[in-house]
Each structure stands twice: as structure tokens, then as C-alpha cells.
Structure 1
Amino acid sequence: MGGARVVGAVTRGTTNPNRLRRMDRWIAAAMEAELRRTADPVVVDLGYGAAPWTAVELLGRLRAVRPDAEVVGVEIDPARVAAARPYERPGLSFAHGGFEVPLPGGRRPMLIRAANVLRQYEEGAVAGVWARLCGRLAPGGLLVEGTCDEIGRRHVWVALGPEGPRSVTFATRLGSLGRPSDLAERLPKALIHRNVPGEAVHSFLTAFDRAWASAAPLSDLGARQRWARAALSLREDGWPLLDGPARWRQGEVTVPWASLAPSLS
């Protein structure tokens, strides 16, 4: 990609082993069919940070689905790329780049994962970055963009296809949760400033807290049972959840993007 302009800004680079395990687990399930079907199972870990752990772990988790899956870690900081190079092996490589997603030979990734990358950007920049990244996807590909805490207990992400955003997933270590709205601090950039009265995401989290409180009698059976009952209550109240009990027991809930999309104001 000689001479190509690198697009983006250097992030803080904070990373920890297993920080993105919840997102990885969801990706492996959501992308299983496409990963098995594609002739070129290459994925990109965009902005992996100061250490390559997330790229290494993503490869392992995807190879449980597709044994010849390939991960390319892309970082805008050349020093981070150099530091990651000793970890390269067949199926795992690292490249200098940004939102232009530099893959040789015109390859297009089946997945771009961008975790904790857009947090530092202005809200108004998000749509343009999303469009640029989605434009790099292979047919059937997915962009997953979101934010989590430092040790991966709380995570919220948006899944997007070439047509734009599709869904929002809330995922948490249930033993650490006080109430579902604790996840608000990890909303991705497109939503975090919209958690105010009158916005759909605020209405959703308020409803989730109410359902969580109503499910308190199930606490003696464990947080999983309480979370699942709260999720079911959300569905009964008209929220169009896209997943079911198998995912709820993992501490996840996925909602269509259209149900949480910011207002136009």
C-alpha cells in the first residue's frame, strides 16, 4: 500500500488480555455461517492498541468456527505495529493503517472489529467512519464497533452491514451488575450522548431497569435467571429483542438499531 494516506488518529491504546471476550463470543456466533461459507476468511482487528492480545485471542476464537480464519491487526501507531510483529504466525499478521483498512491484493475482510476506537472522536464523525469501514467489507461482511471497560465486564457494540447499522448488543458480567443502566457509560460514541430523556436509548435503559427491578424475586436463583426474566419482560412490553434465552443467559441482549437510533435533532 505504498504511499497510501493513513486515516484516523492514535488512540490511548489501553488493552488487557480477555478484554474483548464478550464481543468475540458474540461475533463467532453471529458470523458462523458467513465465515464457513466465504472463500477468503480474513478479518481485521482495527486499533488493537499497545499490545496485540486482542488480535491473538480473536484468531483463536474464530478458528473454532473456521480453522483457516486469518486475522490482520491494523494499528495507526507504527511503534505498536513493530511491537506486535514478534507475535506473527501463519494466519496472524499486523499492518500499519487506519480507517482505510490496508489489506494487500484488494482483499476485503469478512469482519472489521473496532473496539474502543471511536470513543475519542466527535459524535458527528461516527457516521462517516462507519460508512468508510462498511465500504471495505466483503459481501456478507460485518463491522462491529463498540466500547467496553478495561477488563471487559461491560460492553456495548453496534453491528453494521454495508447498508448501515443493524443492531445494538448490551453484554455484561452479570455478577458485577447493579442494574442494566450501569452499561450506559459504555455506550458507543453514536449513542452515549443520547442517553437523555426523549431519546430511544434512554427509554430502553429505563425500561430495562424497571424490568430488572421487577425480576428481583429471581435473584435467589442467580443473576442469569434475573437477567433472562428482565429480557423476557422487555419483549413482552414490545421491545423487539433479536435474541433469546440462549444469548440472554450469556449476559447479552440485542436490539435492532432502529429501536435505539438517535433522534434527528
Structure 2
Amino acid sequence: MTRPVGTPTRGTTNPNRLRRMDRWIAAAHGQALRRSDRPVAVDLGYGAAPWTTLELMRQLRTAAPRCEVVGIEIDPGRVAAAKPYECEGLSFRHGGFELPVAGPPTLIRAANVLRQYDEGEVAAVWARLCGRLAPGGLLVEGTCDEVGRRHVWVALGPEGPRTVTFATRLGSLDRPSDLAERLPKALIHRNVPGEAVHAFLRDFDRAWAAAAPYASLGARQRWIKAVRELAADWPLKDDRRRWRQGEVTVDWAALAPRSG
């Protein structure tokens, strides 16, 4: 057997930590999963316990009942601990970025995996994982806090990055730029003047401040108003149905880091 590619994560696996990401995946990618002859989703680097993999399977099966889920971990002890939870359509395997699965997966979720890597390593990992995707497949790579209140993730197809999604529990939000601490590795060091993601969060804070009168109607209405203002200057890729969930998705090209 070849040695798995990658290094172990910290392993934080609080239940429901990835619910916002999973909910978005089911909404955005459910149709592609249903169309697939054999929909397979990979949960890459699920951590010290299998809770988030089990939750991913339950969420995906609301959208695609035939979906199979494979949890992959580079730490063999974590795989052994997860084995008792295997059931029909759910398995756990020892591996890393080489993805020890038969055939190309329709979905790869890599949550809180690349945060420990250097920024310069991200593009190669993305390319490797995207190269394994089935036609029409999706890689979702991003970061969240320990209890799942704040997420930012990048969605990529076989051709590369497509969108960036910001998602939050609105009741805990002071201002949108609070999400900056959860930017994925490809963007977190680019939150500085002169970079697009910094300008986006600056404009989002301004729109949020301007929408303050809507706070009397609740945080959701304030968020929706702010996002509507943001849409005048930024290429948003979703609509009010997603905004109501405390989400906003932006075209990757608008936030991509400057070269150099």
C-alpha cells in the first residue's frame, strides 16, 4: 500500500459543526447527485469522530436517497474508531488526498483540512482533488468555527474554483467581516488592502451598517437588505432563498487573490 498523502488534522468533530455547509451542498448539488448513476460523496479528513460524516450522509440522502458516503482519514486510529458506525451506503477508509475510492466521486467535502497547510500548497491540492471528480462533480473546501456558527467555503468543479460562500448564524453576528477569521487558506492571508476579498468584506460591513434600521425587524431582514445592497457592486450567485439562511455566494473570479 502507498503512504496516504497529507497530514492529520486536529480532529475537532463537534456534532452539527458542518450543518450550514451540508445544507448548502444539498441545495446546490442535490440535482447533480440525483442524476448520477452511482452518486458517491467523499468526506475527506472527517476528524477524531465520525459524527459529521454521519450528518453529511443524512443531509445528502434528503436530496439524493441513493447517495453513498465514504469517510476518509489519514489517521488509522480514527478509521478504526469509525468502523462500528458503518452501515449500508456508509464506509470509512484510511487515506488522504489520493482518495482511495473506486471511480470518480460526485462530491468531495474537505472541511477544516487545508487550514494547517501553507497557502502555496492549496492550488496543488485543489488541482489533485478536482482531477478526481466525476463530470459535473463538486469539491467543497472551507473552514468553520468549532460550533458551526461561521463558515466560509469555496466550491470547485473539475475546471477549478467557481464560487465562495459566506454563511453564519445571524443572531451571533456583529458585522459581516467577523467571517474573515474563517476564510479558507486560499483567502485568509489576502484579507488586506488591495485584495478583492478585503474590499468585499469592507463593502459588506458598509451595507450592513446602512441596513441598521432593519435590525428592528430581526437580524435576517437586516442581512437580506445588506446583501441586496451588496449585489449592486458584486456578482452574487444566489438569491433570497439562500440569503434567508444567513448565506451569500459570490463568483470566485471576483474574490480571487491577486497574482504574486
Instruction: Please indicate the TM-score interval, normalised by the length of the shorter structure.
Output: over 0.9
1:123 positional shift:
0.1
Partners of 1:50 and 1:33 in 2: CA distance: 31
Q: Which amino acid aligns with 1:208?
A: F
Provide, for residues 149-199 of structure 1, a one-character-per-residue CA deviation record: whole Å limited to 9, x for no partner. Answer: 000000000000011100000000000000000000000000000000000
Residue in 2 that maps onto 1:128 = 124
Residue in 2 that maps onto 1:239 = 234
Residue in 2 that maps onto 1:205 = 201
For the residue of structure 2 that corresponds to 1:89, the secondary structure is coil
Partners of 1:65 and 1:167 in 2: CA distance: 21
Partners of 2:235 and 2:121 in 1: CA distance: 28
Partners of 1:67 and 1:245 in 2: CA distance: 27
TM-score normalised per structure 1: 0.97
TM-score normalised per structure 2: 0.99
Partners of 2:151 and 2:231 in 1: CA distance: 21
The reply to whether residue 72 of structure 1 matches residue 70 of structure 2 is: yes
Q: CA RMSD in A?
A: 0.6
Q: Which amino acid aligns with 2:241?
A: A
Q: Which of the numbers 185, 190, 193 marks the counterpart of 1:194?
A: 190
Q: Which of the numbers 54, 59, 62 marks the counterpart of 1:61?
A: 59
Partners of 1:70 and 1:54 in 2: CA distance: 15
Residue in 2 that maps onto 1:260 = 255
The reply to whether residue 91 of structure 1 matches residue 89 of structure 2 is: yes
Partners of 1:109 and 1:43 in 2: CA distance: 6
1:66 positional shift:
1.2
Provide, for residues 112-151 of structure 1, a one-character-per-residue CA deviation record: whole Å limited to 9, x for no partner. Answer: 0000000000000000000000011111100000000000
Residue in 2 that maps onto 1:181 = 177
Q: Show structure 2 runs of 5+ residues with no match.
A: none
1:67 positional shift:
1.1
Partners of 2:231 and 2:152 in 1: CA distance: 19
Partners of 2:64 and 2:113 in 1: CA distance: 26
Partners of 1:55 and 1:15 in 2: CA distance: 10
1:44 positional shift:
0.2
1:33 positional shift:
1.3
Q: Which amino acid aligns with 1:43?
A: A
Residue in 2 that maps onto 1:161 = 157
Q: Which amino acid aligns with 2:127?
A: A
8 Å CA contact 2:73, 2:95 repeated in 1: yes
1:15 positional shift:
1.0
Partners of 1:78 and 1:5 in 2: CA distance: 12
Residue in 1 that maps onto 2:148 = 152
Q: Which amino acid aligns with 2:88?
A: P
Partners of 1:161 and 1:176 in 2: CA distance: 32
1:23 positional shift:
0.2
Identity between Structure 1 and Structure 2 (%): 75
Partners of 2:131 and 2:158 in 1: CA distance: 6
The reply to whether residue 109 of structure 1 matches residue 70 of structure 2 is: no
Partners of 2:109 and 2:136 in 1: CA distance: 15
Partners of 2:69 and 2:215 in 1: CA distance: 40
Q: Which amino acid aligns with 2:243?
A: W
Partners of 2:170 and 2:111 in 1: CA distance: 21
Provide, for residues 230-252 of structure 1, a one-character-per-residue CA deviation record: whole Å limited to 9, x for no partner. Answer: 0000012x211001111001000
Aligned counterparts, 1:39-54, within 5 A: 39-54=37-52
